[in-house]
């Protein structure tokens, strides 16, 4: 059987399984299994497949057909021009989360700034570590409750060559005293330049959550009490008093949570500017609070 036949059959099979992007997923998995770039598939359409190659591809296709995300099968996801290892201990980085990194870059345009950063619920480390790549003099405290997530993020810090500028804490993000103590020791600063977070923000009874997200991604990184608002409100209230002037706090949220989070930020009476950043689909995605003189 030739490569083109395999690709076409896999695409048709994924369509039957109601997979959203059947052709893309088929291309990604076949390229991964054959250790090729996606473009190389099209240059080798007439290449016959060996039995051992077919065995590898069948297993990848089986896993995808069961609903397992492509990123977990391949073991990585690209985010903000960098490749991040992922597994089922961390959420898969989404393109909309890049808005947080982009807003920090717009706010702190001096790339030589010695910024002190905190990333709460860091998961794979995609937000905080992307910022360390952009700011060579910055230092980061990255916090996550899951030991497996910390291990993934540590490996990502090594592969991105920023491990000397990040300290990982396997803690509940509500442990403000321990986090701020570590931050002061590591950065030499007592107040935070930038706090970023993609916290759990989904209500436990939200009917819009995809079945395979619930099945494969870590539930502790998805759900929060108070209709999904508990950690967004709790973490922002706990850390806002430590924000520097000028300082910036950015937290990803659900598309219906903008009004509630804007009100919550206003109630802290710390921010000079509060706004909601929309994603490319026009949905509320990030709550932003800025302090300045």
Please name the residue that has the structure tokens 């090594």.
158
For residue 289, the tally of other CB atoms under 10 A from its CB is 25
**Using H for helix, E for strand and C for coil, what is the string for 232-288?**
HHHHHHHHHHHEEEEEEEEEECCCCCHHHHHHHHHHCCCCCEEEEEECCCCCEEEEE
Please name the residue that has the structure tokens 């399984």.
17
- Look up residue 90 and give its two tokens: 């961390």
Binding residues for substrate are: 198-201
Q: How many Å separate Cα 265 from the centre of its chain?
A: 23
Binding residues are: 121-125, 144, 198-201
Binding residues for S-adenosyl-L-methionine are: 121-125, 144, 198
The pairing of beta strand 139-143 with beta strand 166-169: parallel
Backbone angles phi, psi at 265, to 5 degrees: -65, -40
């Amino acid at each position: 059987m030739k490569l083109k036949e395999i690709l076409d059959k896999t695409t048709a099979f994924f369509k039957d399984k109601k997979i959203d992007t059947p052709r893309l997923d088929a291309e990604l998995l076949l390229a991964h299994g054959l250790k090729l770039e996606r473009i190389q598939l099209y240059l080798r359409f007439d290449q016959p497949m060996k039995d051992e190659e077919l065995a590898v591809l069948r297993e990848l296709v089986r896993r995808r057909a069961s609903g397992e995300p492509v990123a977990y099968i391949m073991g990585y996801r690209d985010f903000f021009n960098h490749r991040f290892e992922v597994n089922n201990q961390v959420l898969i980085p989404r393109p909309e989360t890049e808005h947080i990194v982009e807003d920090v870059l717009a706010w702190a345009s001096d790339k030589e700034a010695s910024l002190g950063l905190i990333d709460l619920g860091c998961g794979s480390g995609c937000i905080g570590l992307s910022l360390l790549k952009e700011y060579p003099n910055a230092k980061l405290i990255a916090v996550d409750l899951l030991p497996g997530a910390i291990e993934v993020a540590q490996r990502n810090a090594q592969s991105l060559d920023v491990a000397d500028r990040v300290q990982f804490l396997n803690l509940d993000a509500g442990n403000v005293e321990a986090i701020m103590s570590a931050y002061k020791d590591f950065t030499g600063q007592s107040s935070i330049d930038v706090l970023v977070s993609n916290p759990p923000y989904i209500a436990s009874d939200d009917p819009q959550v995809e079945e395979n997200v619930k099945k494969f991604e870590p539930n502790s990184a998805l759900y929060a009490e108070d209709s999904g608002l508990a950690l967004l409100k709790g973490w922002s209230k706990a850390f806002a008093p430590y924000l520097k002037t000028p300082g910036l706090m950015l937290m990803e949220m659900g598309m219906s949570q903008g009004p509630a989070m804007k009100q919550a930020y206003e109630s802290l009476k710390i921010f000079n500017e509060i706004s909601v950043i929309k994603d490319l689909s026009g949905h509320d995605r990030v709550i932003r609070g800025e302090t300045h003189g």
